[in-house]
């Protein structure tokens, strides 16, 4: 069944490529599928271990969060299969406009009818289940930007930040910032900017982007008192260990107490109300405490492998759209993972970025599954040689991508 699912359009190309990959997988697309599955299994174990105490106390059901996690995965798995089977090249024009309008509509609905928690209004209540539209905005920003940049490079046209996908990403980011959720807003805009940088924007725009981004970051941090306090707590969490630095201190204590092999599944003490958000944003700290350094290394290696095979798919995409879509999805999943692990380890300030497949979060899990499906869709249509901007040859005979200077 797996071989049929990952069957490529050019079988002769596939036979030539089999020798280039470990025997464990027949292609990068198949590798991505199984690596994501392994991460999900590890995440499921960690979600249950980190949440059964909270579930039992709040809902008198230790399996409450695990059940919702598995339901979200069932929906996400269907979305992944659908995205993998559909030709990504058909997601253009009218579909893109529909996606933009739908996401904007959901973000507007959050502003008026959203569920408020911890001082933020980020969720919509759908029949007892909460849905976070900002997660969907991340994937929408990637698809819209990839479709535009791919068409520009395929036709040999220059790329500039003065284009409509940037405007769409900024609008989505502003709506999310109003919730407020600065971390997710930065991710939405940042994903588009990363793809533009890969496409090769002019140096003048790159310098202006760096200066403008630094200035905007400083402004947004000090525009709200709680953000500025988070920065100070990040610089010296022990001085704020009873207030803004409490999460970081407890996270570091959990990571350090895990040792080499951890305290054992279910045996970590952090989930007993010592570490807030133990099953969501700080799930990696619980994993380190219960699975130890070796468990953390396994997760990091899997994320590294996912990044490697994702970039392999991007480098052999048949067109510009596929290249940027694969690169964007890889950045979305692996980039968020790096950001979350850095946050949990105290390397960067505390933000609301989850760890894909490891943290509890229904919408995040569904969107990440759909994103993996799009990556597989590109991987199923890879060619032996990738495209060159402006090339008029057929996809199967294009040469290596050269980014526009």
Tell me the C-alpha distance between 334 and 348, whole Å. 16
Q: CA-CA distance, 388 to 319, in Å (whole number)?
A: 8
| 3-state SS, residue 122 | strand
Answer whether the bond into residue 180 is a cis peptide, omega within 30°. Answer: yes
> Tens digit of pLDDT for each residue in 259-298?
999 999 888 888 888 888 889 999 999 999 999 999 999 9
Dihedral sign, CA of 396, 402, 403, 405?
negative
Question: 322: closest CA among 264, 386, 378?
Answer: 378
* Residue positions counted in the chain: 405
Q: Is the confidence at residue 393, as pLDDT, over 90?
A: no
pTM over 0.85: yes
Residue 4 has pLDDT above 50, yes or no: no
Identify which has the larger pLDDT, 111 or 126.
111
Q: What is the crossing angle of helices 164-177 and 133-154, to 10°?
A: 170
Coil, helix or strand for 136? helix
Q: Which alpha helices (H) appear in 60-132, and where do they start and end? A: 64-85, 94-113
3-state SS assignment for residue 402 = coil
Q: pLDDT above 70 covers what percent of the chain?
A: 89
Question: What percent of the chain is predicted at pLDDT more than 90?
Answer: 59
User: Is the pLDDT reported for residue 306 higher than 80?
Assistant: yes
Least confident of 47-51, 269-273, 275-279, 385-389: 385-389
Average pLDDT over residues 227-239: 84
Residue 223: the pLDDT is 75
pLDDT for res 266: 86
pLDDT above 90 (res 82): yes
Could you read off the pLDDT of 90-103 as tens digits, one per residue? 998 889 999 999 99
- Residue 390 has phi, psi (to 5 degrees) of 90, -5
Q: For residue 402, is pLDDT > 80? A: no
Q: Which whole-number Å values give the CA distances from 261 to 264, 265, 275, 287, 367, in the listed order? A: 8, 11, 20, 11, 32
What is the torsional sign of CA 63, 69, 73, 79?
A: positive
**CA 190/CA 331 separation, integer angstroms:** 10
Q: Give the DSSP per-residue string, 285-308.
A: HHHHHHHHHHHHHHHHHHHHHHHH
pLDDT of 395 higher than 50? no
Q: Are strands 129-131 and 120-126 parallel, antiparallel or unpaired?
A: antiparallel
Residue 401 predicted with pLDDT over 60: no
């Amino acid at each position: 069944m797996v071989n049929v699912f990952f069957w490529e359009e050019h079988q002769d190309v596939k036979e030539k490529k089999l020798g280039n990959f470990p025997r464990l997988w027949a292609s990068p697309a198949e590798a991505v599928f199984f690596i994501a599955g392994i991460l999900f299994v590890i995440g499921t174990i960690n979600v249950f271990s980190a949440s059964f105490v909270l579930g039992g106390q709040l809902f008198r059901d230790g399996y409450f969060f695990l059940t919702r996690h598995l339901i979200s995965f069932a929906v996400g798995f269907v979305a992944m299969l659908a995205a993998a089977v559909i030709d990504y090249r058909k997601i253009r024009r009218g579909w893109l406009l529909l996606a933009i309008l739908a996401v904007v509509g959901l973000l507007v609905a959050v502003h008026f009818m959203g569920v408020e928690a911890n001082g933020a209004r980020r969720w919509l209540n759908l029949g007892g289940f909460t849905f976070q539209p900002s997660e969907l905005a991340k994937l929408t920003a990637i698809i819209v930007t990839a479709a535009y940049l791919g068409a520009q490079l395929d036709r040999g046209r220059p790329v500039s930040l003065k284009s409509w996908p940037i405007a769409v990403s900024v609008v989505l980011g502003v709506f999310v910032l109003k919730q407020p959720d600065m971390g997710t807003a930065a991710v939405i805009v940042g994903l588009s900017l990363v793809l533009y940088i890969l496409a090769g924007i002019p140096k003048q725009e790159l310098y202006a982007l760096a200066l403008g981004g630094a200035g905007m970051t400083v402004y947004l941090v000090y525009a709200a008192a709680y953000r500025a306090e988070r920065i100070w707590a990040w610089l010296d969490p022990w001085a704020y260990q009873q207030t803004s630095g409490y999460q970081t201190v407890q996270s570091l204590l959990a990571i350090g107490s895990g040792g080499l092999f951890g305290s054992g599944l279910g045996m970590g003490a952090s989930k007993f109300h010592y570490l807030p958000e133990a099953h969501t944003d700080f799930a990696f700290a619980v994993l380190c405490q219960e699975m130890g350094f070796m468990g953390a290394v396994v997760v990091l290696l899997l994320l590294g492998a996912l990044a490697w095979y994702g970039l392999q798919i991007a480098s052999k995409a048949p067109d510009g759209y596929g290249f940027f879509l694969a690169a964007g999805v890889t950045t979305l999943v692996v980039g968020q993972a790096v950001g979350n692990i850095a946050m949990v380890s105290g390397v960067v300030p505390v933000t609301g970025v989850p760890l894909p497949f490891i943290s509890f979060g229904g919408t995040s899990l569904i969107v990440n599954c759909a994103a993996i499906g799009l990556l597989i869709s590109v991987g199923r249509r890879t060619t032996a040689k990738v495209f060159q901007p402006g090339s008029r040859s057929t996809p199967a005979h294009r040469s290596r991508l050269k980014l526009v200077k």
